[in-house]
Structure 1
Amino acid sequence: MERVTFQNKGNTVVGNLFRPDGFEQGMRYPAIVVTHPFGAVKEQVSTTYAKLLAAQGFVTLVFDASYQGESGGEPHFSEFPASRVEDIRCAVDFLSNHPDVDADRIGALGICAGGGYTVNAAQTELRIKAAAGVSTFNIGAARRDGVGPLGAQTAEYRTGLLERSAKARTREAAGGEVEMFSLIADNPRFDMNDLSTIPAMYLEGYRYYSEIDPNPRFMGTFALSSLSQQMAFFPFEGIELISPRPLLLIAGSEADTLSYSQDAIAKAKEPKELHVLDGASHIDLYWNPDHVPQVAEKLTEFFTKHL
């Protein structure tokens, strides 16, 4: 593994580069940009898949999103979809000029929100020759409408959040304190004393980030001022533009986010595939040893064929 950096509009993005097993100096390899979920850092699930794909002959690049992890950008712990998509483009810039990479064989993989950002970037970033998402998450739809029946949000609640986000942004512009927001603690419908009130994705995500694969740079709360940008994001609206390049989405049959992958595939043009793993939840595809090898095998088959 090699620690690397690249630039995104003045922000220094910090990443880790993995070379293939049996790497030979002077050869050029196919490469994959791997984009992490909302809240995650590069050392978590994105590295899990980067290592597995590197073992199959790919150069893989993971990185902390701008405004998050070790990367630059203020206010830190902000989630700006436009910046996240640009991170992917800048990662492709980096790989396209790397001496170990065949610039004509670059693919992109995203997990959770990273999947939504990857799909969005691939629509107009033609240097991405094949795109894949694992537990793909539509952050725009989730922030506007909530996640699943338990997380469903009313128009009034949405408007209230936008008003709070606007006030937070005004306060920051005046030099005031950055207000942070929690998707669980700040939702009045969710009760940590009654877990039946909380969507499975959030409960399992809390366990993953706090117990299974904790990291001190994890973004548990985010800058409220960035919420309005998240609501304004429609990642699948131009998804048909990915064709004739291939698209693969992998999701769990029990995921409360499965509908996002189904919606994306319905809008996409061929070649496209939705691969559903029976019995798996959204977070299972981050770490569960019963499912991760199956995901890695499908990704290897996909990228080997198309890169």
Structure 2
Amino acid sequence: MSDYIFSLSDKVTRRAVSYRNRFGIKLAADLYLPADFETNDSWPALIVGAPYGGVKEQGPGIYANELAQRGFVALTFDPSYNGDSAGSPRRVSSPELFVEDFHASVDFLGTQPGIDRQRIGVIGICGSGGFGLSAAQVDPRIKAVATVSMYDISRMHAEGFAGSMDEEARKSTLQMLSEQRWEEFSSQRPKLAPRGAPLQINSDIHPVGREFAEFYSCPRGYHPNSTTQFTLTSSMSFMNFPLLDKLQWISPRPILLVVGEHAHSRFYSEDAHAAAPGPKELYVVPQSNHVDLYDRTDKIPFAKLQDFFQVALG
């Protein structure tokens, strides 16, 4: 599958690569190399994680394409069970698996000629912001983390968006999900949750749904592998396992949290910034929403990211 939503710079080489995580799942990935890359050099490298429901041909590739022009090797990948990566049944999501995919990406990069394994950083977009931070909590090989429009997916499932799920609603949800597991065990046909990005945009659509639909469901960001749907029962593991309860373990490695001024998800980054001991920075992009920072190259603060990683990775 190709269908990249951007044009590759003539100053960058892109290679399709693959590697396995510790569960044995084969991850499909793209390696972006600066035009003057040589294997006898020692380059800093960045892993760019996709939004929750996104794939490597969308926002991650835009970031990798730009940052490779700025002196970094960049790796993008499709999460386990999604996109072009292996795993069955399709569209499963899991906090441990999606965090493990970052660890496996470090494994891969740190064993490639021309890459300095002591200078590997992570950029996590949307849900991958939480997964990348979570990986860094226990993986000191990740020397610095930047998040962009971060979502804490475990918190979103456990609390509802912005804490909208009360105890009664949570009990009802867990009852439904647990009974759904019996049905799927018998049928062996997992049920999919509703799309995160509605297919139709009309006057009744919720503003947050509209924002996602204008990207995922329109030519702007459409990719056939990016359905913004996961199996319904995937929610149970996220409700049970917090992602960001050990942020203090990252210190003294630096964290940069990039967020749009008008992002509906801004509070996730603000809360992570408050919880992390530092060094840390919350960087607010003026006149930007959550999805703007997926692909709007006039709004994405590439210079800020470049400066952050040049200092952090040495």
Q: TM-score, normalised by structure 2?
A: 0.89
1:181 counterpart SS class? coil
Q: Does the 8 Å contact 2:95/2:243 carry over to 1?
A: no
Distance 1:274 1:193 in 2: 34
Equivalent positions of 1:113-262 (< 5 A) are: 113-148=127-162, 152-182=164-194, 194-195=204-205, 198=206, 200-211=207-218, 212-262=220-270
Q: 1:114 to 1:97 in 2, by over 3 A?
A: same
Structure 1 residue 47, shift from structure 2 partner: 0.7
Structure 1 residue 168, shift from structure 2 partner: 2.6
Correspondence 1:86 to 2:96: no
Structure 1 residue 3, shift from structure 2 partner: 0.7
Percentage identity across aligned positions? 36
Equivalent positions of 1:12-51 (< 5 A) are: 12-51=26-65
Q: 1:233 to 1:37 in 2, by over 3 A?
A: farther
2:4 alignment counterpart: none
Distance 1:230 1:72 in 2: 21
Q: 1:237 to 1:246 in 2, by over 3 A?
A: same
- Cα deviation per residue 1:197-222 (whole Å; 9 max; x = unaligned)? x2x33321111011111100113321
1:179 counterpart SS class? coil
Distance 2:278 2:120 in 1: 19
Distance 2:182 2:233 in 1: 9
The structure 1 segments of at least 4 consecutive aligned residues displaced by more than 6 Å after TM superposition are: none
Q: Does the 8 Å contact 2:197/2:228 carry over to 1?
A: no
Aligned length: 296
Distance 1:185 1:284 in 2: 15
1:75 alignment counterpart: 89
Q: Does the 8 Å contact 1:148/1:256 carry over to 2?
A: no
Q: Does the 8 Å contact 2:196/2:228 carry over to 1?
A: no
Q: Which letter maps to 1:160?
A: S
1:30 counterpart SS class? strand
- Of stretches 162-171 and 92-101 in structure 1, the one that deviates more from structure 2 is 162-171
- Cα deviation per residue 1:80-129 (whole Å; 9 max; x = unaligned)? 11100000000000011011210110111100000000011101100001
Q: 1:185 to 1:167 in 2, by over 3 A?
A: farther
* Structure 1: stretches of 5+ with no match in the other structure: none
Q: Does the 8 Å contact 2:134/2:243 carry over to 1?
A: yes
Structure 1 residue 144, shift from structure 2 partner: 2.2
* Structure 2: stretches of 5+ with no match in the other structure: 1-13
Structure 1 residue 161, shift from structure 2 partner: 2.3
Question: How big is the alpha-carbon RMSD for the aligned residues of Structure 1 and Structure 2?
Answer: 1.9
Q: TM-score, normalised by structure 1?
A: 0.91
Q: Which letter maps to 1:167?
A: E
Correspondence 1:7 to 2:17: no
